[in-house]
Homo-oligomer: A and B are copies of this chain.
Amino acid sequence: MFGARCLLRALRSCSSAPCPRHRPAARVSVRGALGVQSANGERVKVQGWIRSIRSQKEVLFLHVNDGSSLESLQVVADSSFDSRELAFGSSVEVQGQLVKSPSKKQNVELKAEKIEVVGNCDAKAFPVKYKERHPLEYLRQYPHLRCRTNVLGSVLRVRSEATAAIHSFFKDSGFVHIHTPVITSNDCEGAGELFQVEPSSKIKVPEENFFNIPVFLTVSGQLHLEVMSGAFTQVFTFGPTFRAENSQSRRHLAEFYMVEAEISFLESLQDLMQWGADLHTEHEKYLVKHCGDIPVFVINYPLALKPFYMRDNEDGPQHTVAAVDLLVPGVGELFGGSLREERYHFLEQRLARLGLTEAYQWYLDLRRFGSVPHGGFGMGFERYLQCILGIDNIKDVIPFPRFTHSCLL
C-alpha cells in the first residue's frame, strides 16, 4: 500500500495543516474523545454534525457526532456562541478543552473555545427531523440522507465490522480470497432470473455482442470457486450477486452480497447427521409454524430438485444429493451448501441429460485433471445481518437497496 498510504497521509495532512485562523489543536474523532479515560483539559478539535442543541440561560449544550460511534460528544459552550446557524444537521468544527463531565451521563465533555459552522442545514427541507424517531419505511425514501440517523448509522457500522470479520476469519483459517467475476457467460444453471449485460445504446460497437456471446450478472461465484479449488484447497469469495426476481418481499433484493467458500478433499456430509433426518422435520415445522429460534440444518434433497453440480448420494429409490441448507428463524434460508459431483462419469451423464455438455466442457475438465472431492456453501450476507440485528426488512441492512421498480441513485 505504498501509494495509498502515501496519498492518504498527504490528503489527510491537508486538513490538519496549520492555518493562521486556528491555534493548532489535535484533531480527534468523537469516538477518540469519548474514549479518553481521565480528561484533563487537553486541547482538541472535533468535527462532525450537530445531533442536538439545548440553549440555557448562560450555557449552550450541543451534541456532535461524526459517525465514529453511536454516542455523540457533548459540547458545552458559553451562550454567547449561540446563533441561528448552530442547528440540528449543521456541520461544525469545535475547538476546546476535553474535561471530565460533572454529569453522570458521560465521562467527558468538550468545553468549547471556538465553534465554526462548516455547512448549514436547511432544517425545513431536511427530511430528518430533530428529536423524531422516523420509521425505517420513511427513511428508505432518502437513501442519500438516511445514513445520518442513529439507526442506519449503527447498521452500517455493524455491516462494516462484519465485513472485516469475515475477511479476517477466512484469512486466519488459511483460505485464499478469490474475486469471482460479476459478468459471466454461464447462463444455463437453471436460474431463470438473470440480468443480461450489454453496452449502453449510446455506444456503437460493430459486433452484436461486446463479448461476442451473451453475458449475465453472476448469481453465484461457486463454479468459479470450484475452478480455484483445483489449485488451492480452501478458497472464498465475498461479493455482489444478482437475481432479476420480481419480488418486493422483505427477504429479497436484486443485488445482494454472498459469502461463498469451497473446500477441497471434503468427503462426506456425515458429520452434519447429528442434526439428522429425524430431527429436521420436527424442527422445520417448529421453525415455520411457531417462529421458534433454533437454526436448523436440512440435508439430502431430492436429486431432481437440485442443480447438476450436487453430488449424487446413490441412495436408491429416494435418490438424493449431498446438499445442506441452514434455516434460521425470521429470515429463512441463510446458508446453502453441498458436496459437488467430482466423479467425471456421473457429471458427464447429468450434463448430457440436460444438454449442457458443450457449455460445461470446462467444468468437466476440472474432473479430468486431478479431480478431488470437494464441497462448499454460500451465505446471504444481508440475511445474516438481518439475523444478528433482528431487522425485519432486508432493504434496511444494505446501503443502497435495489429491487423491482427501485434503483435510487
Return the contact of A337 from the options B11, B157, B232 (Cβ within 8 A).
Answer: B11
Set of chain B residues within 8 Å of A207, measured between Cβ atoms: 405
Q: Are B402 and A183 in contact (CB under 8 A)?
A: yes
Minimum CB distance partner of A196 in chain B: B200
CB of A217 within 8 A of chain B?
Answer: yes
In terms of DSSP, what is the predominant structure of the interface of chain A?
mixed
Q: Are A224 and B164 in contact (CB under 8 A)?
A: no
Set of chain B residues within 8 Å of A279, measured between Cβ atoms: none
Q: Are B14 and A271 in contact (CB under 8 A)?
A: yes
Set of chain B residues within 8 Å of A7, measured between Cβ atoms: 297, 324, 326, 335, 337, 377
Size range of the chain A interface in the assembly: 35 or more
Q: Are B405 and A212 in contact (CB under 8 A)?
A: yes
Q: Are B268 and A231 in contact (CB under 8 A)?
A: no
Return the contact of A211 from the options B91, B268, B271, B407 (Cβ within 8 A).
Answer: B407
Q: Are B267 and A14 in contact (CB under 8 A)?
A: yes
Q: Are B164 and A177 in contact (CB under 8 A)?
A: yes
* Measured CA separation A122–B370 after assembly (Å): 8
**Interface hit among A72-80, A99-107, A238-246:** A238-246
* Measured CA separation A196–B377 after assembly (Å): 30
Q: What's the minimum C-beta distance from A13 to chain B, rounded to whole angstroms?
A: 5
Q: Are A3 and B47 in contact (CB under 8 A)?
A: no
- Given A197-B217, A199-B195, A228–B407 Cβ distance below 8 Å? no
Set of chain B residues within 8 Å of A266, measured between Cβ atoms: 11-12, 14-15
**Interface hit among A283-291, A350-358, A361-369:** A361-369
- Given A10-B272, A254-B210, A399–B180 Cβ distance below 8 Å? yes
* Measured CA separation A275–B351 after assembly (Å): 60
CB of A159 within 8 A of chain B?
Answer: yes
CB of A321 within 8 A of chain B?
Answer: no
Q: Are B121 and A185 in contact (CB under 8 A)?
A: no
**What 8 pairs between A and B have smallest CB-CB spacing?**
A67-B232, A119-B371, A199-B244, A211-B407, A147-B231, A194-B200, A160-B177, A91-B370
Q: A122-B368, A179-B240 are in contact. List 11 more A-B contacts (CB 8 A).
A: A14-B272, A125-B369, A147-B230, A153-B231, A163-B179, A179-B399, A185-B408, A195-B197, A197-B197, A207-B405, A227-B409
Can you give 22 A-B contacts (C-beta < 8 A)? Answer: A1-B165, A3-B335, A3-B379, A4-B169, A7-B324, A8-B173, A14-B270, A15-B373, A17-B270, A67-B232, A68-B174, A119-B342, A119-B367, A125-B369, A144-B362, A147-B232, A183-B255, A198-B198, A210-B254, A210-B405, A224-B409, A228-B399
